[in-house]
Amino acid sequence: MEHKLLNLTLPFVIEEIDNILETYPKFLHQETFSANRLRQELVAYVLNRVPNKYVVVDKTEDFEQTKLSIPYSSQRFLDIEYYIHLGIRDILGAFNQTNCDIQPNNNQNFRNYRKVS
């Protein structure tokens, strides 16, 4: 009989990320984190900061049954929510910093503007 190792925290974190992103503005957060790389970065961010729960199951065992038996305290749940919000902020900040063009628009060069009387 073959067995497999399951991370029970992973699907829980993914579900919570989806729930929390729905509460953020669609344009900025939901669309930004719809990119697979950034979503994976957020999942990794959270999983690296919370204790993960694992189980060993038969390869034939249904994962849905196992997923329902995750015992999380309310404090652990709040920790996961906290790290999701923090991860959104940190990853979005890093993403904006590396992807924004901070060059001024030539039409908005106000330093050379002089009021003529």
pLDDT tens per residue, range 27-67: 777 778 887 889 999 999 999 999 998 888 887 766 665 55
Rounded CA-CA distance 111/83 in Å is 43
Written as one letter, the residue type at 34 is S
Say what the pLDDT of residue 92 is.
Answer: 86
Picking from 16, 12, 11, the residue whose alpha carbon sits closest to that of residue 85 is 16
Q: Which residue has the higher pLDDT, 115 or 58?
A: 58
